[in-house]
Amino acid sequence: MEIALLLVLVMLGSIISPATAAKTEWSDTNDVKSAVSKTAICIHFHYPEGWKAGDPLPKKDVQMIQKAKDLNAEYIRFDIWWKDIEPQKDQFDEDAIAYYKAIINKIHQEGMDAVVVLGSSGGFPDWVRNLLSSKSGTIEAKTNGKTVKIPKGEVNVDEVMKLAKESKIPVKNLYVVNGKAIIQAQVTQGFLLEAKQYAAKVAQEFWYLLVYYQLGNELNHPTDPIDWYDDHKFIKALHDGLDEYEIY
């Protein structure tokens, strides 16, 4: 089962609550004290092909939620994948949205709350590839006490995995389009606008069901599709999307 245990404390740097997403900024740790030391379970839910609104949840999903409850979790943390809810530009999949609502409702039925991750790069839809500006070259990263040169731009997946194995480089949330991993690309204004609209759609559909959002995941690593100097722009675009759908 795709399930992992963590403390919510490690996520505080990028977590905001729906109630505070619009205009309230946290000024100190007292604002988020309720999240500290709470136990969360990370689960990877994936919208099943062919699932329609009103269908029962897949057995595996129900079992993972029950397992989290058995482990005394207070939160379940999971992605609402961009590629699931907007597989084509400006075309949101209502069945996928209904699937994630069914997941959250099941979490609530079992006495837990939901923390949603927005913007994991492994969940980027293929169509945003043209909104990322990539150039071939190399970057340097330190791993295991030595400096390793890593190719950037569009890189064959097999090459990435071979280098990762040889140099013990962690590979997280790889964004792959047509067999090529996109590595350390710069964001465009078009990409940021689309990211903002994706976050706004999630806020519009799910705000009343959630206690926290996490913006981005596993950022600032060598095989990240987004240039590490642009990560903050991506996070801001997601936040602005949540802020656009104001709830008071």
Instruction: Check residue 138 and give its pLDDT.
Output: 87
Nearest to 133 by CA among 94, 190, 88: 190
d(CA 167, CA 161): 10
Hey, which of 49-53, 174-178, 216-220 has the most confident mean pLDDT?
Answer: 49-53
Packing angle between helix 59-70 and helix 94-109, nearest 10 degrees?
Answer: 30
Tens of pLDDT along 123-173? 999 999 999 998 888 888 777 778 888 889 999 999 888 888 887 777 777
Asked whether the predicted pLDDT for residue 20 surpasses 80, the reply is no
Residue 122 identity: G
Instruction: Check residue 38 and give its pLDDT.
Output: 67
Asked whether the predicted pLDDT for residue 24 surpasses 50, the reply is no
- Name the residue ranges covered by the structural domains of the chain: 3-123+187-244, 128-183
Asked whether the predicted pLDDT for residue 122 surpasses 70, the reply is yes
d(CA 183, CA 135): 9
Instruction: Check residue 32 and give its pLDDT.
Output: 42
Tens of pLDDT along 32-46? 444 444 688 999 999
Instruction: Check residue 246 and give its pLDDT.
Output: 58
Q: What per-residue string of b and e applies to 74-86 under the rule 16 or more CB within 10 Å gives b?
A: bbbbbbbbbbbbb
Tens of pLDDT along 213-246? 999 987 877 888 999 899 999 999 999 999 987 5
Long-range contact pairs involving 110-114 (C-beta distance under 8 Å, separation at least 24): 110/65, 110/66, 110/68, 110/69, 111/69, 112/65, 112/68, 112/69, 112/73, 112/74, 112/75, 112/76, 113/74, 113/75, 113/76, 113/210, 113/211, 114/75, 114/76, 114/77, 114/78, 114/209, 114/210, 114/211
Instruction: Check residue 164 and give its pLDDT.
Output: 82
Mean pLDDT of the chain: 84
Q: How far is CA 138 from CA 22, 69, 122, 182, in A?
A: 39, 45, 21, 13
Percent of the chain with pLDDT over 70: 83
Asked whether the predicted pLDDT for residue 116 surpasses 60, the reply is yes
Tens of pLDDT along 74-101? 999 999 999 999 999 999 999 999 999 9
Identify whether the C-beta of residue 7 lies closer than 8 Å to the C-beta of residue 70.
no
Nearest to 96 by CA among 107, 105, 83, 109: 83
| Torsion angle of C-alpha atoms 53, 59, 63, 64, degrees rounded to 10 | -60
Instruction: Check residue 227 and give its pLDDT.
Output: 92
Q: How far is CA 55 from CA 58, 96, 112, 114, in A?
A: 9, 11, 22, 21
pTM tops 0.75: yes
Query: Token pair of 19, please?
Result: 């109630």
φ, ψ of residue 233 to 5 degrees: the values are -65, -40
d(CA 212, CA 17): 4
Instruction: Check residue 99 and give its pLDDT.
Output: 99
Asked whether the predicted pLDDT for residue 23 surpasses 70, the reply is no
Asked whether the predicted pLDDT for residue 58 surpasses 70, the reply is yes
Q: Which fold has domain 3-123+187-244?
A: TIM Barrel (3.20.20)
Instruction: Check residue 18 and give its pLDDT.
Output: 53
Q: How far is CA 146 from CA 54, 125, 141, 165, in A?
A: 53, 34, 8, 15
